[in-house]
Chain A
Amino acid sequence: MSYLHAPRLVFTGDFLSDVSTVNNDTAHYNNATFQPNFQDPGKGATNGWWNPEGGAVFDFQNCAVKQIFLPDGTTQTSQSDDIIIGQAVVGAEGRPTGKMVDLDPDAQMFSALWCVQLRICTANGDLLFKGDITTTSFRDLQMRQLDGGKSNGQPLGASWTSVITNIEWGVLAEQSAFLKTLRATTQNNTLAINMSPFGYYYSHNDGRFSLGRIIGSIGPYFENEPLTFAAARRLYGINYTPSIRGTFFSISNFLVEPDAKRVSVDFGASFPVADSIGTVNYKQDLRLAVSKIPQAGVASRQTPTFYINPNDFIEIGALDYQSDPNWLNQTGGIVSFNNLPDATVSALAANQLILVSPSTSQPGQFAIIAREAIDGLVARADNFIQRLDDGQSVNIDFYAYQWGNLLPNTSISVTLDPATPDTPVGPQNPISEIYGNNFPADGLTFNGQISTNQQGKAQMLLTGNAIYSPRVYIDGQIYFITYQTATVDQAFGTEQIVVHLRDYFEEIANPVWGDISEMMIQYSNLYPIMSKYVVNLADPVALAEKKKILIFAFSRDINDTMHMPVTRDLSSTKRNTILNWLNNPQIAPKTVVRSDAREARTANPAAPGTALTDKQTRYREAVKAKNGSFPGFSATNDLFENL
């Protein structure tokens, strides 16, 4: 079961993400070289990017349920059909909003939602249901906007997949046939949710600064299924679009339900849009089909388009999106074809789904816009973002599927990526030396050869070991761990587990200010909203005055809605040391020179100038794109024309 199963609902609206941005630059973490202008808005490393005073707030705005999809294959769009349609989707009430934070400045592509509550209520505030979205991080970043993001600044979109727990059903839920069915279908009083954010505004245009569009889908959850991705089949874009040097329709989830004779494809995270609010105004003839022959094409500039003869596929149907520019916002981009012929259903059991468009350059042929993963293989790690202290262990859960079914006896190899070199100060890196990632290799222990069991699942124990300030001025290290099955589909590539392993640090029972000043000054530098409006984190006297509220905030559990976002970066020993200080603030400097750790720093095995792997290079470009500092996005005017 997943957000693509019936019954499901679709909601659309905006999200507010008031992320803070001084911490987007790794060099800003160096207290010794920090300058006040790093807290001013502006591009470039010597400024604080688009929102230096961000407070990490994430919230739903103007979101409403657009339509529902029922087990019998019908779609309802009017409140007269079901009371839930048209109702508002809102965030928390009576407790702080959710928060959105990155894992680390060296791991910015996995922005995570923490403590987000989702409520569906009527205009009078009467509850239909509410629940808590389990922490989940970005996956599947892809290009969305044909205009290159010129008004908003960020043309990429992504996906958050998760589950909703602690569900409370309102009295009104009884009046919704949809909710009654959903409640009866789902397990553990948990729901599956997927959200596709895009169109985010770095710019102060259109009254939408720090807003983006979000499309969500909520469906039933079943026990033992992954929590942060759908147990679905996957469609990858393989048509190279020169203006973006990549593909549109890059990644879409889909579900085949043989018993219901149905295929449902989620283009909510992939459908190309004209602008930041999801308008669809191109009119290409796009069709879904099942390829009778294996497809292994991978988009490249050299081979931008792959073709297929109509004799080689079974057509399922055309996407009916052209008549309504608001199609994506209304439907969530989820397309279901019901009552498929038996031949189509059985073909889908072991053949690739494809998205095609009639070719103009090769009449009679069809260009393949996207194709399913080779051999229908999908293997993914579930809890792929980790924060670890030394001595802590966690089981990483893997799931392998073929053609949508769990796949036993599949070996997965897991490898730590090579160390990246340090970057000395220079014209491209003006502030401070930036230290590399993925070292020391013995910081993590895991068995890199695992295999799925009879249920198609595998677990890998990952243990954090003591490391000693490999990045000098930033706590801990970021490790990228690539995993793959025997064959890698280059249309998608490999995925990674990303770990922030915190530095070894011995808790200080009776600390003086000098013991915690470096940490607190760093927070003060990176999160000006705190020092400006709440308490100057760099001032021990001010901290001591506010110790009550700070102890309150620093002592919350990481999943507590009141947990301060920045303290998720701290190891428990550092957090406890800060708490120890707050409980007995001693405003003396430290007597011992604080250079021991630096001298003992683990050397980077990668020599300066060591070339990055292709994936590491692409990652760095993607980070630039995410931060709005990549100038290379131009508009696409003729998508899929003249193929």
Chain B
Amino acid sequence: MLQIDSRYIEKALSANALEELYPLLQNAVELEHSTIPPYLTAMFSLNPGTNPVQRQVIHSIVIEEMLHMTIAANILNALGGHPVISHADFVPEYPGPLPMGIGNGLIVGLEKYSTDVVKNVFMEIEEPENPLVFKSVSLAALPTYSTIGQFYQAIQRKIDELAPDELPGDKSKQVTSSFFPADELFPIYTKQHAIDAINIIIEQGEGTSTSPLDQEDELAHYYRFEELYKGKRLVKDDTAPNGYSFSGPAIPFSPEGVFPLFPNTKINMLPVGSEEWKRMTEFNTSYYSLLSGLHTTFNGQPGMLDNTVGVMYDLKLTAQKLCATPFPSKPGYTIGPSFEFIVPAGS
């Protein structure tokens, strides 16, 4: 089960002032972002026109990670802090651990889509505190671990304890978007807003403790990935112990519809100055542009969010072209997007 370094939870629980929560919320923004490159890499590796369910599931989860990142940044702003996004420390080194010691050594890389990656990485990242086991034989006693959910709960509890009803942050810095429902992404002006918003993050990621569904009646991330892993839809099943079972329609998967990305491609693996190297540079330039645009968005110019949506498309198109490009001198492989923090020449 996915663990978080319990020091972070202790830090949250021992906070005596809102300021002490700033670095933790910054960590939260970083954590939410850190899952996006691995998910996107897997999604971009799916050949256009193939494996539509896999694409749709990952896409829906990425969108929610973006929502969570936005919520965490909004809370940080609401408490009076300043999200830092366009900075080298913001981007993890892949393969490597996620922020805050998540997963007790879980190494997350940038790899092509496979059921192994879904099971061993994605489900690990999203694993709830007490995963509901559907039609599973073993229900051994589950030890208590510190999870991402618990981390957010600790922050939630401290905000409840320390914050005034009306939060001190500059209200004009709150970011909302027509791309998210107003009951999921709303401005955080009050303590209650912050508490409600954290519940959205926890439930979308983990479900509730009694159901795989979140408050919007959507499957939590963990169970959506589990569907892909099992190749079956999770559906209501009154005969099953938890009321659900993987007895829904099959989710077909064709492994040949996946580009053979070289795992954890880095730009320095490509011949300097080659067309492939330049396209990777273009990709990392878009990535930098995106982080920079988000930084501006979350530091006083919320209207910039729309512009970053356009950059996301630039990034996506370049990434998908990379995934279809043969890897120079690595026969049988294509190039994965490297998501490296490289400040564009002279920028």
Contacts and interface: CB of A to CB of B under 8 A. Distances in A.
- Decide whether A and B are members of one complex: yes
Given A64-B346, A96-B307, A121-B346, A532 B48 contact: yes
A630 interface: no
A94 B304 contact: yes
A561 B310 contact: yes
B292 A96 contact: no
Interface stretch (A206-214, A290-298, A619-627): A206-214
A209 B275 contact: yes
B296 A533 contact: no
Given A96-B311, A529-B317, A532-B48, 14 more contacts: A55-B314, A55-B317, A59-B285, A61-B278, A62-B345, A90-B345, A93-B293, A93-B347, A96-B310, A97-B314, A122-B346, A533-B48, A533-B320, A534-B316
B277 A207 contact: yes
Contacts of A55: 314, 317
A606 B49 CA distance: 45
Interface in A58-114: 59, 61-62, 64, 87-90, 92-97
B184 interface: no
A601 interface: no
A59 B293 CA distance: 17
A625 to B, nearest CB: 24
A562 B314 CA distance: 11
A590 interface: no
Contacts of A90: 344-347
A208 B279 CA distance: 10
A569 interface: no
Contacts of B343: 123-125
B199 to A, nearest CB: 25
A548 interface: yes
Interface in B332-347: 343-347
Contacts of B274: 207
Contacts of A124: 343
A423 B286 CA distance: 43
21 contacts: A59-B285, A61-B281, A88-B345, A88-B347, A93-B289, A94-B294, A94-B311, A95-B304, A95-B311, A96-B310, A121-B346, A207-B275, A207-B277, A209-B275, A211-B278, A534-B313, A548-B178, A552-B178, A552-B309, A562-B307, A562-B309
B346 A208 contact: no
Contact of A562 (B278, B295, B306): B306
A95 B285 CA distance: 12
Interface of B: 48-49, 178-179, 271, 273-275, 277-278, 281-282, 285-286, 288-290, 292-297, 304, 306-311, 313-314, 316-317, 320-321, 343-347
A289 B120 CA distance: 76
A401 B323 CA distance: 54
A95 B320 contact: no
A480 to B, nearest CB: 33
B317 A93 contact: no
CB-based closest 6 A-B pairs: A88-B346, A94-B293, A96-B310, A95-B307, A562-B310, A532-B48
Interface of A: 16, 53, 55, 57, 59, 61-62, 64, 87-90, 92-97, 119, 121-125, 204, 207-209, 211, 529, 532-534, 548-549, 552, 561-562
A529 B321 CA distance: 9
A121 B292 CA distance: 14
- The prevalent SS among residues of B at the interface is helix
A166 to B, nearest CB: 14
A387 B34 CA distance: 45
A533 to B, nearest CB: 5
A540 B346 CA distance: 44
A211 B286 CA distance: 17
Contact of A94 (B282, B289, B345): B289
Nearest to B272: A207
Given A533-B48, A533-B316, A562-B306, A93 B292 contact: yes
Contacts of B320: 532-533
A374 to B, nearest CB: 44
Contacts of A121: 346-347
A16 B275 CA distance: 12
A89 B178 CA distance: 34
A207 B278 contact: yes
A92 B289 contact: yes
A403 B295 CA distance: 51
Contacts, number: 100
A533 B44 CA distance: 9
Nearest to B346: A88
Contacts of A59: 282, 285
Contacts of A16: 282
A433 B314 CA distance: 35
Q: Which of B278, B281, B309 has the most CB of A within 10 A?
A: B278
Contacts of B306: 552, 562
A199 to B, nearest CB: 15
A95 B275 contact: no
A89 B345 CA distance: 9
Contacts of A533: 48, 316-317, 320
A96 B48 contact: no
Contacts of B308: 94-95
A53 B321 contact: yes
Nearest to A86: B346
Contacts of A125: 343, 347
A442 B213 CA distance: 64
A280 B277 CA distance: 27
Contacts of A548: 178-179
Nearest to B179: A548
Nearest to A121: B347
Contact of B293 (A57, A87, A95): A95
Contacts of A97: 286, 314
B296 A94 contact: yes
A61 B281 CA distance: 10
B23 to A, nearest CB: 24
Contacts of A534: 313, 316-317
Contacts of B311: 94-96
Contacts of A552: 178-179, 306, 309
B184 to A, nearest CB: 14
Contact of B275 (A64, A122, A204): A204
A95 B297 CA distance: 11
A207 B273 contact: yes
Given A53-B321, A207-B274, A95 B346 contact: no
B310 A95 contact: yes
A210 to B, nearest CB: 9
A53 B282 CA distance: 16
Contacts of A62: 345
Q: Which of A55, A95, A124, A549 has the most CB of B within 10 A?
A: A95
A562 B49 CA distance: 25
Q: Which of B178, B294, B321 has the most CB of A within 10 A?
A: B321
Contacts of B273: 207
A83 to B, nearest CB: 13
A119 B347 CA distance: 9
A368 B187 CA distance: 71
A87 B347 CA distance: 9
Contacts of A95: 289, 293, 304, 307-308, 310-311
B346 A94 contact: no
A204 B49 CA distance: 27
A555 to B, nearest CB: 11
Contacts of A207: 271, 273-275, 277-278
A200 to B, nearest CB: 14
Given A96-B314, A561-B307, A208 B275 contact: yes
A561 B316 CA distance: 17
A5 to B, nearest CB: 26
Nearest to B315: A96
B334 to A, nearest CB: 15
Contacts of A57: 314
Contact of A96 (B178, B313, B347): B313
A94 B48 contact: no
Contacts of A88: 344-347
